[in-house]
Amino acid sequence: MQKVLVTDIQRYAVNDGPGFRTNVFLKGCPLACKWCHNPETIAAYPEIYWKNRLCVQCGACLEVCPVDAINPPIPPEESQLENSSYHKIIRDRCDRCLKCVDACKYGALEITGSEMSVEEIIKEVLKDSMFYSNSGGGLTLSGGEPTAHAEFSEEILKSAKKKGLHVCLDTNGFAKWEILEKLVGYADIILFDLKHIDNDKHIEMTGASNKLIKENLDKLTVLNKDIWIRVPVIPEFNDSIDYHERAADFLNGLSGKITRIDLLPFHNWCQDKYKWLGIKWPLAHLESLDPSFLEIPAEIYRGKGFETTVGGSGFEE
């Protein structure tokens, strides 16, 4: 039975499609967006969180590590300081054998990514079926990036439709067209990330060209599908009025139609995740955007004829 890594199954979500939804986050993404709010979903292999606030520095992990990838204990109060440079795991030595996680009795070491089968995922999603029928919700398949697990994602979506579930596919569009086309055939709504329309900027902040993404989006628009464009608005990247005017013109120039645009404000609530993974977050200096600041760019898209939300709520206001 094929399985993939799932980082989270989030219940009662309201910003990733209509109604109450259950979001399934697959692990593994071909992009490396510098602002990523879910850094644990990027790598396609299990990783280890080290939660310094829970660590009592007992040394149990050090004793079991076979590759000397654990730093010796220091006083807990020192490791928990806001500006502490101490990190429990020496990441470039770690072979992810996970023995340290098994040895930790305090929950300070935690695996990100649990193997699940299609059947196990659908079983979890169906637990909330009564909320879907009352609200118009359903399953949202997210990540990471679902197209990175093409066959598995197809089986999830196909199984969900057989169970009568409403399905949203959340994708960055960075995939071969034949993969994306097959997956969207099972989706009621495509949530399509548009990070930047300028290629150089896109490469700078995501590590990849946007050429394929833009081509795929144009092809999607002629398939008579509901397409919700999701724009993560990042300070110093795509938050200018000029950018949103150009982006609106780009969307108006596509071969077909899109259903709506969701402007998603940058936030820095994910800082702990980066610390737990031992990653220095390049955008840690930025403040979260107040959603009200996005009402002006939202009016730009509305003025071009697009239904536009700030935050992407799936409920009618």
**Residue 236 is part of a domain; what is its CATH number?**
3.20.20.70
**The last residue of a domain, from among 88, 112, 136:** 112
Count of C-beta atoms within a 10 Å radius of residue 47: 24
The pLDDT value given to residue 77: 96
Q: What percent of the chain has pLDDT over 90?
A: 97
Same structural domain for residues 53 and 169? no
The pLDDT value given to residue 283: 96
Element (H, E) at 206: helix 199-206
**The last residue of a domain, from among 63, 92, 112:** 112
| pLDDT tens-digit map of 221-244 | 999 999 999 999 999 999 999 999
Residue 39 per-residue DSSP state = G
Same structural domain for residues 61 and 127? no
For residues 211 and 199, is the Cβ–Cβ distance under 8 A? yes
Same structural domain for residues 188 and 123? yes
Same structural domain for residues 77 and 168? no
Residue 316 lies in a domain: no
Same structural domain for residues 90 and 228? no
Our measurement of the distance from residue 127's CA atom to the centroid of its chain's CA atoms, rounded to an integer in Å, reads: 23
Residue 315 lies in a domain: no
Query: How many Å from the N-terminal Cα to the C-terminal Cα in the chain?
Result: 43
CATH number at residue 76: 3.30.70.20
> How many domains in the chain?
2
The pLDDT value given to residue 313: 80
In 3-state terms, what secondary structure has residue 192? strand
Strands 226-233 and 166-171: unpaired
Same structural domain for residues 213 and 96? no
Amino acid letter, 225: K
- The mean per-residue pLDDT over the stretch 50-75 comes to 98
| pLDDT tens-digit map of 270-312 | 999 999 999 999 999 999 999 999 999 999 999 999 999 999 8
**The last residue of a domain, from among 112, 147, 162:** 112
| pLDDT tens-digit map of 5-41 | 999 999 999 999 999 999 999 999 999 999 999 999 9
- The mean per-residue pLDDT over the stretch 49-78 comes to 97
Residue 317 lies in a domain: no
- pTM for the full predicted model: 0.95
Identify the domain containing residue 257 by its residue range: 3-44+117-310
The pLDDT value given to residue 26: 98
Which of 98, 125, 91, 94 lies closest to 20 in space, CA to CA?
125
The pLDDT value given to residue 44: 95
For residues 73 and 59, is the Cβ–Cβ distance under 8 A? yes
Residue 260 lies in a domain: yes
Same structural domain for residues 94 and 148? no
For residues 237 and 201, is the Cβ–Cβ distance under 8 A? yes
Give me the sheet containing 3-13, strands edge to edge.
114-117, 3-13, 21-26, 138-142, 166-171, 189-193, 226-233, 260-265, 308-310
